[in-house]
């Protein structure tokens, strides 16, 4: 408890996250930070130089204790960056959070995840595409991450809820009622189905415009890649995509009609090198290598017990086939076929090129 309160005290210092991390590096531990006379003197000098009042140790402790009690009352847990449950991928980004506030299952933060973002003013087609991609990827074991906003975010969360994996919503506000209020019920459904709500902002913080791009770096940082579905040239979704690229993550974009202004951002991303997506399978293929570490199936067919017995391999033995052709001959449902193909592809038994499946001989 005392160490957790020290982490919360660190977040209450009137300095940036980068400076908070520098203090941690200098002191070696968060508890050592508040007992290091030299570090505290440097902190006081920094605040005096900028005309900022530095809270006393007593004031910091009271604020930290109040934060802890408020989170407990609201049912939110607190993850610090030294905890094993803290998502490892977030530690790789240039500006990681010091703490995360989480409601729901924190274990889902470290699984295979893909961000789906886009316009708040989504077209019916755009919302349908986001829903379809989210559901299919969720069926394949990929958790969908988005920002719980109206439009594409909402469609992505709803599609994921119909799939087989939990979905995660990264909030710009702190623990408490979600923003927008219209998605409070959606947030509750996410929790009921084993997902999580995440924020780096404390309870009661003011929801200001700058918090949204700050939030977006967490959406991209948590995931293996970001899919943009409908985005104007000035959309916040392009900020998320650019952050993903700067973090070394894959960027995907779905093209749209030339007459649709909400497709121009996606077209710009494709020109800049984003992977053009026509179906969810394109994402799975592009992330094939990254997804292998989360797949319990071995990479080589001879090391993957059971995969070599799949009846689908009989159909793919003579020639390559499309998804529709395999549906006709296999007798499987769409979902069953997609799951089996995903397992075979992740296991290295088959490969997919240009919409056709081949045995990996």
Say what percent of the chain tops pLDDT 70.
93
Backbone region of residue 351 per phi and psi (left: phi > 0; alpha: psi in -120 to 50; beta: other values) = beta
pLDDT, tens digit (0-9, with 9 covering 90-100), for 130-183? 999 999 999 888 999 999 999 999 999 999 999 989 999 999 999 999 999 999
* Strand order through the sheet with 356-359: 321-322, 356-359, 350-353
pLDDT greater than 60 at residue 303: no
- Tell me the C-alpha distance between 205 and 300, whole Å: 50
pLDDT tens digit sequence for 106-127: 989 988 999 999 999 999 999 9
DSSP assignment letter at 113 = E
- Alpha-carbon span 83 to 63, nearest angstrom: 22
Task: Give CA–CA dist 315/320, Å, rounded.
Answer: 8
Residue 287 CB partners (closer than 8 Å, separation 6+)? 114, 224, 225, 250
Q: Which tens digits make up the pLDDT trace of 55-111?
A: 888 999 999 999 999 999 999 999 999 999 999 999 999 999 999 999 999 989 988
Q: Which domains, from first to last, does the chain contain?
A: 2-69 (no CATH), 106-288 (3.40.50.450), 295-359 (1.10.10.10)
Q: Which residue has the higher pLDDT, 197 or 328?
A: 197
Q: Residue holding tokens 């610090």?
A: 80
Collapsed DSSP state (helix, strand, coil) of residue 94: coil
DSSP summary character for residue 101: E
What band does 293 get if pLDDT is binned at 50, 70 and 90?
low
pLDDT of residue 301: 36
Q: pTM, whole model, 2 decimals?
A: 0.81
97-126: buried (b, 16+ CB within 10 Å) or exposed (e) per residue? bbbbbbbbebebbbebbbbbbbbbebbeeb
pLDDT at 243 over 70: yes
Helices (H), 57-144: 57-74, 88-91, 124-139
Sequence-separated (6 or more) residues with CB below 8 Å from residue 279 = 355
pLDDT tens track for 275-291: 999 989 889 888 877 77
């Amino acid at each position: 408890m005392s160490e957790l309160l020290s982490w919360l005290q660190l977040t209450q210092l009137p300095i940036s996250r980068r400076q908070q991390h520098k203090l941690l590096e200098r002191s070696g531990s968060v508890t050592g930070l508040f007992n290091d006379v030299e570090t505290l003197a440097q902190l006081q000098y920094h605040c005096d130089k900028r005309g900022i009042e530095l809270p006393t140790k007593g004031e910091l402790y009271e604020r930290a204790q109040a934060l802890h009690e408020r989170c407990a009352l609201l049912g939110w847990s607190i993850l610090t960056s030294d905890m094993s449950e803290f998502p490892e991928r977030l530690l790789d980004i240039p500006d990681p959070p010091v703490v995360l506030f989480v409601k729901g299952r924190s274990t889902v933060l470290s699984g295979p995840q893909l961000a789906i973002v886009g316009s708040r003013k989504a077209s019916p087609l755009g919302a349908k595409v986001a829903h379809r991609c989210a559901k299919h990827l969720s069926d394949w074991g990929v958790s969908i991450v988005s920002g719980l906003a109206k439009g594409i975010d909402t469609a992505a969360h709803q599609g994921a809820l119909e799939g087989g994996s939990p979905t995660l919503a990264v909030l710009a506000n702190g623990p408490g009622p979600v923003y927008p209020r219209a998605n409070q019920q959606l947030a509750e459904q996410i929790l009921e189905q084993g997902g999580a709500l995440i924020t780096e902002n404390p309870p009661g913080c003011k929801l200001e415009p700058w918090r949204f791009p700050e939030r977006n770096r967490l959406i991209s940082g948590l995931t293996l890649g970001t899919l943009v579905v409908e985005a104007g040239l000035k959309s916040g979704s392009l900020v998320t995509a650019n952050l993903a690229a700067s973090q070394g993550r894959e960027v995907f974009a779905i093209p749209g009609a030339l007459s649709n202004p909400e497709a121009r951002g996606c077209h710009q991303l494709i020109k800049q090198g984003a992977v053009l997506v026509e179906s969810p399978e394109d994402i799975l293929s592009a992330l094939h290598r990254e997804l292998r570490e989360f797949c319990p199936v071995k990479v080589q067919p001879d090391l993957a017990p059971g995969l070599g017995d799949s009846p689908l391999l009989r159909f793919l033995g003579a020639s390559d086939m499309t998804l529709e052709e395999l549906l006709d001959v296999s007798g499987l449902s769409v979902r069953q076929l997609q799951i089996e193909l995903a397992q075979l592809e992740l296991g290295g038994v088959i490969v997919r090129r240009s919409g056709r499946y081949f045995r990996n001989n």
